[in-house]
Amino acid sequence: MSADEAPLLALERVAVSYGGIQAVKGIDVVVRKGELVCLIGANGAGKTTTLKGICGLLPLKSGHVRYDGRDVTGMRSFRLVRRGLVMVPEGRGMFGALTIEENLAMGAYIRDDRAAIRDDVERVFTLFPRLKERRRQTAGTLSGGEQQMLAMGRALMSRPRLLLLDEPSMGLAPLMVHKVFETIIAVSGEGVTILLIEQNAKLALEVSHRGYVMESGEITLDGEAAALLHNPKVRSAYLGEAL
Amino acid sequence: MDTFIQQLVNGVTLGSVYAIVALGYTMVYGIIQLINFAHGDVVMIGAMVAYSVIAVLVGAHVSLPPLAIVVIATLFAIPVCMAVGYALERVAYRPLRNAPRLAPLITAIGLSIVLENIALIIWGRAPLPYPQIIETVTYRLTSHPDGATITNVQVAIIGISIVMMAGLLVLIYRTKIGVAMRATAQNAQVAGLMGIDVNRVISITFIIGSGLAAVAGVMDGSYYGVAHYQMGFILGLKAFTAAVLGGIGNLGGAMLGGLLLGVIESLGAGYVGEFTNLCHLSGWSHALALRCVSDPHLALFGSNYQDVFAFVVLILVLVFRPSGLLGERVSDRA
């Protein structure tokens, strides 16, 4: 993973407005192939808005999004998915009235290789045995943690190259948070590039290669995750430690 | 008893047509929360196009069996209606996707007027006698010589409706595009994040609903033997009632609502005269008794009140169970 390799994802001076407020004020973020990068910051810092800007769910006010060497600024989300850029939205975005199997099938919507899809469903079930037990139940009957697993499993079904995770630990019990992060490490280990958004800065920095700190719509710090973890400013602002 | 069976047969026939039309309403509502008030007029276009094709084929003395002519006419009407349905969504509803909900609703009513006027220009103002080229065969259902009957047309309408409904359920629940339609109905944004082209799914929904509408138009025309540029209005309103009765947005609800509405209407029309027969009151009024001598069936309401029942049902549902019989999710959509 050399630093001069062309990045898989690059945000160039990206600005996004949300609800009349400029929530993201011209940020630069780079994610290289194979990396696990986190974007941390307080509630309202503009993290989710950034992701929505990347995915075409919100229009950019200015700046560019480059993905895999192409300018994908303003491209609609379903086209990005076909290029391997997949987001797991905040709140997990379940199709609550669809069964777990149907949810997974929708994750594989862009694929036509039935046999391989079946194999991938089995892989997701190996990763999350709880889902296999409930494969014919509707997703709405799952607990929050199970839904997060399904959301990640469903995203993996498209065989993404770049996975954007929006607050995967939000609202989960500590045991579930642990399981979710284990999964993130495993998926990253399989070579999927990940941009992770988290309020739980400590956990995020512990699993990531690099990190960006976002504050009021701007990137205020970035660097190796280990270095950020020991940065006194980060420690006081996000890790709850007194200086 | 024979009256009851007869009205039941008529009601199920009528209800099958309502159900097919109601499915178009409910599918569109389920996916974009729009009451497509122009849907009834798509049914009318289907009836009209089929009428023209039948008229041309019969006029040209084509030596085809009558059934084949009707089938050909229907196969013409289906793609025309699909194109109309697609165009309505593409041209009128899509630009209003993010507008306040009242805007597409008013647009739908406007489109209904537009379609009716286009039909008026093409087919004229007069009711068109639907060519009864299929010879009606009547089957007796009971041993009584004047007892309840069912015709081959009724059997065909009921049978075709069942096949179409079953086909639709298979499509929606067993195919990839069907699951994508349900996914889009639940959360269009997340559907997009799965790589589903939401616009395409919405177009397909309109196309399927309009294809069903075309067949419903031919069935309605063949059953009543008449087509008219305004026939879609009342039919559409009744199918909408059926969809609401079953729970709008719910496929099974549209089917159940359609059938129930047809049966309620028919039984209502069949019995309203008996129940409101004024001659029971002859003892109270000498004048009434005199009139009943010449007209023992003198009643307050006659079977021409058939249409009223649909709307009484609509009002009752809206008052007592606005989510419909099978619906659950009205409050979060309101």
Chain B residue with the nearest C-alpha to that of A54: B193
Report the chain A residue with the minimal C-alpha distance to residue B181. A106
- This model of the complex carries an ipTM of 0.91
Is residue B27 within 8 A of residue B246, CB to CB? The reply is no
| pLDDT at residue A2 tops 70 | no
Q: Which residues contact B320 (CB under 8 A, 6 or more apart)?
A: none
- B188 contacts chain A (CB < 8 A): no
Pick from B179, B196, B198: CB nearest A98:
B179
Q: Quick one: pLDDT at residue B328? A: 66
Predicted confidence at residue B281, as pLDDT, reads 79
Q: Is A156 on the interface with B (CB under 8 A)?
A: no
Written as six digits, the tokens of A214 are 């976002």
Q: What is the pLDDT along chain B (334 residues), one digit of tens a residue?
A: 788 999 999 999 999 999 999 999 999 999 999 999 999 999 999 999 999 999 999 989 888 898 999 999 999 999 999 999 999 999 999 999 999 989 999 999 999 999 999 999 999 999 999 877 888 899 998 888 888 999 999 999 999 999 999 999 999 999 999 999 999 999 999 999 999 999 999 999 999 999 999 999 999 999 999 999 999 999 999 999 999 999 999 999 999 999 999 999 999 988 888 888 888 777 788 888 888 888 888 888 877 888 888 889 999 999 999 999 998 654 443 3
Quick check: B195 and A95 CB within 8 A?
no
**Domains defined along chain A, listed by start:** 9-238 (3.40.50.300)
Tens digit of pLDDT for each residue in A121-177? 999 999 899 999 999 999 999 998 899 999 999 999 999 999 999 999 998 999 999
**pLDDT tops 70 at residue A39:** yes
| Closest partner CB to A89 (pick from B179, B193, B195) | B193
* B12 part of contact set with chain A, CB < 8 Å: no
Q: How many separate helices (H) and strands (E) can be counted in chain B?
A: 12, 4
Q: At what angle do helices A114-127 and A100-107 cross, to 10 degrees?
A: 120
Task: Count other C-beta atoms under 10 Å from residue B226's C-beta.
Answer: 14
Cβ of residue B193 closer than 8 Å to a chain A Cβ: yes
Q: How much is the pLDDT for A4?
A: 54
Note whether A138 contacts B: Cβ–Cβ < 8 A. Answer: no
Q: Please answer yes or no on whether A89 and B192 come within 8 Å at the CB atom.
A: no
Compute the distance between CA of residue B267 and CA of residue B6 in angstroms, rounded to an integer.
9
What is the per-residue pLDDT for A92?
A: 85
Chain B interface test: which of A106, A110, A156, A162 (most B C-beta within 10 Å): A106
Q: How far is A235 from chain B (nearest CA, A)?
A: 34
CA nearest to B18, candidates B235, B224, B228, B227: B235
**Residue range A179-209, pLDDT digits in tens:** 999 999 999 999 999 999 998 999 999 999 9
- Please report the pLDDT score of residue B174 as a whole number: 94
Instruction: Determine the pLDDT at residue B285.
Output: 81
Domains observed in chain B: 2-272 (1.10.3470)
According to DSSP, the β-strands at A36-41 and A193-198 are parallel
In the numeric block, which tokens belong to residue A150? 């399904």
Q: What is the pLDDT of residue A1?
A: 47
